[in-house]
Amino acid sequence: MVNTHVQIGELTLKNPVIAASGTFGFGREMQQWNNLSQIGGISSKGLTLNPRLGNDPTRVAETASGMLNSVGLQNPGLQAFIEHELPFMLGLGTTVIANIAGHSLEENVQMAMQLDQTAVHAIELNLSCPNVNKGCMAFGSSAHLIQEVVRAVRQSTTKPLWVKLTPNVTAISEMALAAESAGADAVCLINTLLGMAIDRRSRRPVLRNNTGGLSGPAVKPVALRMVWDVAKSVSIPVIGMGGIMTGEDALEFMIAGATAVQVGTANLVKPTACQDIINEMIMIATAEKITSFSQYTGTLKTW
């Protein structure tokens, strides 16, 4: 028997596989294919204080080994989430993480204060969305701004606070250190890499937003390197993601230093991806006579 539990600060996850924000909605649609009590956690679609319709279509495009999206934070707004989606999510028997993406420091603080009054298990502060004009990635590209916003949110809630980082920076470990020093309980990486697709005939960008975020297997090597870099720099847990499609991929992220992982694009290819990945991890660990998933974390033998 493998002990599948992992510890993220004060929070114990039943296993290290979390459904990544924006690829699992609030779990409602995914329920028909999964027993959601068996996955490690669900990170909600990115929330803003007020409802957002998101960007105009076309909002997704397939690429070699991945996809581009510019959804633009379509969501029902924090109040509707708290009233209608959160009670449903809390009934699923898994860890529920509210992913927030305020367009200003004040909006993030206000959302954290409201979520503090709920039974949500953790807040994931998204400082990395590439598809909106204000806030988000603008915060996540400056260590100084990360520190400012994380400190302010930290003071507004006693909930576990995870900070989601953008890969669209030169030195992601500096950003992770800024989040840690301001009181983050964990850092999550990577969000999508800024990219573009062009239709040669019309000479127009495929996405109406012109650019979008690249995800899926195409980004995995970049994500692995960043998780490895960050895990060497910070003492708080690292939650790794980017192109995880299999149990083998998930374990590679843990070996690079991640305590837990998130699975995004894979859910859009195969709605049972999270569950399948957990089962594969258990099979591999059993074959390797590993007794606890946590034994994989940070065990990379570099040359």
Ligand X SMILES: Cc1cc2nc3c(=O)[nH]c(=O)nc-3n(C[C@H](O)[C@H](O)[C@H](O)COP(=O)(O)O)c2cc1C
Which residues contact ligand X by CB under 6 A?
Answer: 20-23, 45-46, 69, 71, 73, 99, 126, 129, 164, 191-192, 215-216, 219, 241-244, 263-266
Residue nearest to ligand X (CB): 22
Q: How far is the CB of 114 from ligand X (least distance, A)?
A: 18
Q: How far is the CB of 293 from ligand X (least distance, A)?
A: 19
Nearer to ligand X, 129 or 177 (CB): 129
Contact 63, 214 (CB under 8 A): yes
Nearer to ligand X, 154 or 220 (CB): 220
Instruction: Kindly state the tokens that stand for 200.
Output: 């040669």
Nearest of 189, 163, 164, 196 to residue 69 by alpha carbon: 196
E runs forming strands in the chain: 6-8, 11-13, 17-19, 41-43, 60-63, 66-69, 95-100, 122-126, 161-164, 186-189, 193-195, 198-199, 204-205, 212-215, 238-241, 260-263
Q: How far is the CB of 115 from ligand X (least distance, A)?
A: 15
Between CA 102 and CA 132 the distance in angstroms is: 10
Nearer to ligand X, 210 or 286 (CB): 210
Q: How far is the CB of 3 from ligand X (least distance, A)?
A: 25
Please pick, among 129, 136, 188, 274, the residue that the annotation labels catalytic.
129
Write the CA distances from 118 to 20, 98, 104, 162, integer angstroms. 21, 11, 22, 17
Does 136 participate in catalysis according to the annotation? no
Q: How far is the CB of 167 from ligand X (least distance, A)?
A: 9
Nearer to ligand X, 2 or 94 (CB): 94
Q: How far is the CB of 183 from ligand X (least distance, A)?
A: 19
Write the CA distances from 109 to 87, 134, 154, 189, integer angstroms. 22, 16, 9, 22
Q: Order of strands, edge to edge, in the sheet holding 193-195?
A: 60-63, 66-69, 212-215, 193-195
Between CA 239 and CA 123 the distance in angstroms is: 13
Nearest of 92, 100, 137 to residue 122 by alpha carbon: 100
Contact 46, 26 (CB under 8 A): no
Nearer to ligand X, 3 or 79 (CB): 79
Nearer to ligand X, 11 or 132 (CB): 132
Q: How far is the CB of 171 from ligand X (least distance, A)?
A: 19
Q: Could you write out the DSSP letters of every residue in 111-168? A: HHHHHHTS--SEEEEE---TTSSSSTHHHHT-HHHHHHHHHHHHTT--S-EEEEPPS-
Nearer to ligand X, 102 or 216 (CB): 216
Contact 81, 47 (CB under 8 A): yes
Catalytic residues: 129
